[in-house]
Structure 1
Amino acid sequence: MPAASTPSQPLHIVIIGYVWPEPNSSAAGYHMLSFIELFHNQGWTITFASPASLGDHRADLSPWNVQEVAISLNDASFDTWIAEQRPNVVLFDRFMMEEQFGWRVEKACPDAIRLLDTEDLHSLRDARHQMLKKQLQLTKDEVDFTPLLEMDTLFDYMSPTDLAQREIASIYRCDLTLMISDVELRLLTDYFSVPYQQLMHCPFMINHERSAPASAPSWQQRQHFVSIGNFRHAPNWDAVLWLKQRIWPQIRQALPQAELHIYGAYPPPKATDLNHPSSGFYVKGWAESADEVIQNARVLIAPLRFGAGIKGKLLDAMRNGTPSVTTPIGVEGMVSSQAWPGAIGGSEKAIAAAAVQLYQDEATWLKAQSRTQAILDHRFNTVKNQGNLLYLLNQMLDKKHLAQHRKNNFVGQMLRHHHHKSTQYMSQWIEAKNKLS
């Protein structure tokens, strides 16, 4: 890609959020905040709008001068509001927001660049979840990760599903879709035939000022295991159950004094009920500082059996110099030729054994810790990732370029025509119905 270029004048971006950003609750929240910081640093005007209710841990966006607006679904007031905003760019946070508001944005602001941030490929995550459920019905305990990773198998499973068809149609309808994982980008281009120019690999843009200092605790100063993740995210809850039922008992048998501290936003009663101090299994819930709890732990353990995107907890572990144990699903999109800073296990026994070795053996632990910087530099180069995004946006701000780009995306034109008509009439019917009730 050519050298990055910054738009020549301040712009206005409207972000339509699926939820209000919670960077301390989820990787998606952190990723969204990195976009806000980037656009703020360019001098852009930023408006964040969402139909969601306010979360308990939502970020304070005032340091970035973000205007926050509550919007409603199936309400024509949005059309007037978005037209008054006159945005240069509209960023849809996940495809569901494009489905709801994309036709309204195109109708009111036809010249605005329409970006989609998938966060992760929802249809991939759901397909893996369903495949895992079928496996567990037969095997009960062990998981074969091979079919969950093979693109041929995934395509065969995903392509007939309503969720994949909706999500990929949304990708076609937008001018550019930001993909956090290059694995998912290849799945879309090589199997679903999405044109490469419709996609951009945009992994986490790490704020290095937030990274842990070099004086992070040593192996001797740390103790216990940590696992962290929003309990509302199905892969995280599945990982907690696998830990509780199968993996932690094996670790605890080898390390009778060790403890596992489970952190995450929005723990339901079924999660807190798993708290069992006598076996060293502690469900802590919300962590004010993920960095602090990860830094003080000796090993982070993330036995993810399904999922998609990039796992923020594993990136946080690297930033804090904490070796981690995970699965082939966990490392997807994060490594290529680089060695993992910890261990990758494909079975409960392998995960438990690797966790015990990292915990007990300082030399193994230090070797794992030394691998973090190579991955951070290679995969999460902030300057490079930000520059590439600004370069593509600057290209699309040229009306002739944007017009040709849209003309080349004929499939997107067809999908917008049919989707927008059906969605418009359905939305107007719901709005009229709501007024009568």
Structure 2
Amino acid sequence: MFKSIKLYFRLKSLAKKLRKQNKEVDFTGNLKYDKNVIIIDTKVPEYNKDSGSRRLTEIIKLLIKNNVGVFLMADFKEYRFTTDYLQYFKDLGAVVYEPGIDKSGKLIAKNDFIKQVLPFADFVWLHRPEIFAKYHPVVKKIKPTAKVFFDMVDFHYLRFKRESELTGNADILKKADKYLKLELDNCKKADKIIVISDVEKESIKEFYNEDAKIISIGNIHQFIENENPVSFENRKDLLFIGGFDHKPNVDAVNYLAEEIMPLLWKSNPGISISIIGSNPPETIEKLNSEKFRVIGYAEDVAPYFYNSRIFVAPLRYGAGIKGKIGQSLEFGLPLVTTNIGAEGFDFQENRTIMVGNTSQEIVDNILSLYQNKEVWQKISSDSKKVIEPFSNYTIEQKILSLIK
């Protein structure tokens, strides 16, 4: 009750402020596309900070390119709508929700936005399990005929199950079971289920086997052709990248600091590593040293990929396609990861030197790649082939099949 009263006064204050600014909006005033889709996520996608946001951003670009109008809404509190990313999506051509007032001076809240734009929408794309559970009833109440997609992003049950197995934490296993119930309920209600890879599709089918409803739409990766690549000899050190709001990345960096790098330094003490990622917690920031550089968020990551010799991603749990692996392949930077990190990628004959599942295996692979120019160059050259299934064209065809 207290929270509801507090929110009421905040919204009332916001409406008063918007009236003073004369911020009257009509979210349907400029419709120009053959079809329209409403996309709802937990936040306005931060395309340069995390893999899930980057994937959704590329999906939005492909939709607009194919003459599909996008109504984009984030499930933030109405009074916390200021973000640097709003204008980016407006410039792309999306209609982005932010609190405004209608002609009568009434505040347009999130559900008001949905009511206003849903009559013009052919599809509703709900991103992540909690978002689907929250907004599917709202959508169906307003427009029962709307086609609603459940974009899982990753199979959360599987991610938490793996974390519980790694940590032995029974509470996390309970969380996994809770997510399984939520995700399966969403699957039953959705018109289409979007998974991030065929690996996830097979995992889901163990619990929910309606193959015709499931489509895999992964991350979108394009190989970057570099006319003046930095040579093997002129590269040095290791690189890790990953947003720290995602717990598997925190675990991976701790694993690097506590086990992998100390073991590596016994054989080659001259190798250092750069750790890039938004919102590092204090526990990660404290790891910063001369040979273990915690950079935090970097607006331009290209120089790190161009000058590092190896990308390292020792992920011990998680689910779905890992954006950091695809990003390394985009730059043709050879990498070492685990079975978890490699899920969904076909490394073919290079797999044995790119994938390790113990600290010693990972270190041995790093050293082999770090010291062997011929193998390094082959893996770099093969990167383009590995990410072909994630090209713009391939993902575009899948999206078009979904909205036909």
TM-score tier (shorter): 0.7 to 0.9
SS of match in other structure, 1:178: strand
Question: Structure 1 residue 207: deviation in Å?
Answer: 4.9
Matches within 5 A, 1:240-319: 240-277=253-290, 280-319=291-330
39-48 or 323-332: bigger deviation: 39-48
Contact 2:157/2:176 (<8 A) preserved: no
Deviations 1:121-149 (A, max 9, x none): 111101100111129xxxxxxxxxxxxxx
Alignment check: 8 A CA contact 1:121 1:308 kept: yes
Mapped partners of 1:167, 1:21: distance in 2: 22
The aligned residue for residue 209 of structure 2 is 194
Would the alpha carbon gap of residues 347 and 62 (structure 1) be closer, same or farther in structure 2, given more than 3 Å must change?
same
1 CA distance for matches of 2:52 and 2:220?
A: 12
List runs of 5+ in structure 1 lacking aligned partners: 1-8, 136-156, 395-437
> What do the CA deviations read for 1:90-113 (whole angstroms, capped 9, x no partner)?
111111111111100111122222
Q: What does 1:26-425 correspond to in 2, within 5 Å?
A: 26-52=50-76, 53=80, 58=85, 60-70=88-98, 78-85=110-117, 86=119, 87-134=121-168, 161-189=177-205, 191-207=206-222, 211-277=224-290, 280-335=291-346, 337=348, 339-340=350-351, 343-377=354-388, 379-394=389-404
In the TM superposition, residue 370 of structure 1 has moved relative to its aligned partner by 2.3
Aligned partners of 2:209, 2:174: CA distance in 1, in Å? 15
Identity of aligned residues (%): 25
Cα gap change, 1:158 to 1:375, in 2 (>3 Å):
farther
Letter of the 1:390 counterpart: L
Q: Match for residue 432 of structure 1?
A: none
Cα distance between partner residues in 1 of 2:71 and 2:85 = 16
SS in 1 for 2:126: strand
SS at match of 2:295: strand
What's the offset of the Cα at 1:115? 1.2
Evaluate the alpha carbon distance shift between residue 171 and residue 295 of structure 1 in structure 2; reply closer, same or farther with a 3 A threshold.
farther
1:158 deviates by 8.8
1:195 is matched by which residue type in structure 2? E
Answer yes or no: is the 8 Å Cα contact 1:20–1:54 preserved in 2. Answer: no
Contact 1:239-1:304 at 8 Å conserved across structures: yes
CA contact (8 A) 1:95 1:171 kept: no
| Partner Cα distance (1:63, 1:241) in 2 | 39
Q: If the length of structure 2 is used for normalisation, what is the TM-score?
A: 0.82
TM-aligned CA distance change 1:79 to 1:41, over 3 Å: same
Show the counterpart of 2:11: none
User: What is the CA-CA distance between 1:176 and the residue it aligns to?
Assistant: 0.7
Cα root mean square deviation, aligned: 2.5
After TM superposition, the score normalised by the length of structure 1 is 0.76
Q: CA separation in 2, counterparts of 1:174 and 1:40?
A: 23
- Give per-residue Cα distances to partners, 1:42-78, cap 9 Å, x unaligned: 122211111225697747213312222147xxx9954
Compared with structure 1, are the counterparts of its residues 235 and 217 closer, same or farther at alpha carbon in structure 2 (3 Å cutoff)? same
Hey, what's the Cα distance between the residues in 1 that align with 2:303 and 2:84? 17
For residue 418 of structure 1, what is the aligned residue in structure 2? none
Could you tell me whether the CA contact under 8 Å between 2:160 and 2:175 is conserved in 1? no
Specify which structure has the bigger relative contact order, considering alpha-carbon pairs within 8 angstroms and separated by 6 or more residues: 1
Q: Distance in 1 between matches of 2:308 and 2:92?
A: 32
| Matched ranges for 1:1-16 at <5 A | 10-16=34-40
Q: What's the offset of the Cα at 1:20?
A: 1.6
Distance apart, 1:245 and its partner CA = 0.5
Match of 2:49 in 1: 25
1:368-412, Cα deviation, whole Å (9 max, x unpaired)? 2122122112x2132132112212321xxxxxxxxxxxxxxxxxx
